[in-house]
Amino acid sequence: MALDSLSMTFQALADPTRRAILARLALGETSVSELAEPFEMSLPAVSKHLKVLEGAGLITRSRDAQWRPCKLEPTALKTVDDWLERYRRFWEERFDRLEDYLREIQAKDKADKPKKPSDKKRPRKK
Amino acid sequence: MSAAAAKTQTTASPDFVISRVFDAPRELVWKAMTEPERMKEWWGPKGFTVLAAKMDLRPGGSYHYGMAGPDGVQMWGKMAYREVEAPSRLVFINSFSDEAGGVTRHPMAPTWPLEMLSILTFEELPGGKTKFTVRWSPHNPTAEEQQTFDAGHASMTQGWGGTLDKLAAYLAPTKA
């Protein structure tokens, strides 16, 4: 089954080393050997991670320069960010509707209930 | 930011936490979340019609619901209750579902945790108000699911905001 691009991005992001590579690339274009240094990894191992990131559209690699620098592509991450924002909105939306519901039900209860004698004594507020 | 976002608090922690203060007594907020006839009135996106809302409120019981959007697309979900402590605490595992009540994957992201542990707390505040807090974390996740959740966590709580230095901080490993 072919994975949609969002799933590929998620899979790419699910690995801590790949997230660290992206964090490094957020600071600027970098060669593969420079990327490999802090991770104490072999070049082929780093290249494998880069391939996954490239496949997910998270980075691009220049064909021009001989050292083929890696560059971050923020658009793919923005898509993930937007998608996750939906989860926050999931609760925001429900809270909004709950707020409306609670307001309506309380207004209705107030209108339905006959006034209690104690209500008269209470000083009016709000 | 919208007015709704300003009213709602989210905090950075290992779990996703979101809360809002409602101008209603705790008893009523609890009922709104635990009585199926009331849940039908507000749970779900606006404009959706309720197809089913079956509730068995007790640890081990569940709430199984279905909704249909204006375009006819159906959405099914399930809450499997673990703790029911009226009127202050409700704990359930929530998941996507189908008409038969099974547990299903997120339709758009296969590595998203299959089941999410939701801890809902209701706190009484002065003036007849109630603070409703939701705490979300993956339930028995696979390593891949946990990582997907972690990768998204910072984004869910604060948003990445589109700037590269923020992105670097967000992606940076937390280990020393």
The ipTM assigned to this model is 0.73
Query: Given an 8 Å threshold on Cβ–Cβ distance, is B171 in contact with A15?
Result: no
Task: Name the residue with higher pLDDT: B27 or A87.
Answer: B27
> What residue ranges do the domains of chain A occupy?
5-74, 76-111
Task: Name the residue with higher pLDDT: A119 or B107.
Answer: B107
Domains of chain B: total? 1
Residue B128, domain extent: 14-139
**ω into residue A123 within 30 of 0, thus cis?**
no
pTM of this prediction? 0.61
Task: Name the residue with higher pLDDT: B6 or B172.
Answer: B172
* B49-55 vs B16-22, strand pairing mode: unpaired
Q: Could you tell me the CA-to-CA distances from B133 to A76, B8, B9, B11, B20 in Å, in that order?
A: 31, 10, 9, 11, 7
Query: Residue B16's closest CA among B158, B128, B142?
Result: B158
Residue B158 in any domain: the answer is no
Tell me how far apart the alpha carbons of residues B141 and B145 are, in angstroms, rounded to a whole number. Answer: 5
- What's the CATH number for A5-74? 1.10.10.10
Residue B148 in any domain: the answer is no
Least confident of A20-24, B52-56, B162-166: B162-166
Residue B166 in any domain: the answer is no
Q: Say if residue B155's pLDDT is above 90.
A: no
Residue B144 in any domain: the answer is no
Task: Spell out which residues of chain A touch residue B159, defining contact as CB-CB under 8 Å.
Answer: 81, 85
Task: Spell out which residues of chain B touch residue A20, defining contact as CB-CB under 8 Å.
Answer: 171-173
Query: Given an 8 Å threshold on Cβ–Cβ distance, is B172 in contact with A22?
Result: no
The CATH number of the domain where B50 resides is what? Answer: 3.30.530.20
Task: Name the residue with higher pLDDT: B165 or A50.
Answer: A50
Instruction: Give the pLDDT mean for B149-170.
Output: 51
Task: Express each pLDDT in A23-41 by its tens digit.
Answer: 888 888 888 888 888 877 8
Tell me how far apart the alpha carbons of residues B164 and A74 are, in angstroms, rounded to a whole number. Answer: 8
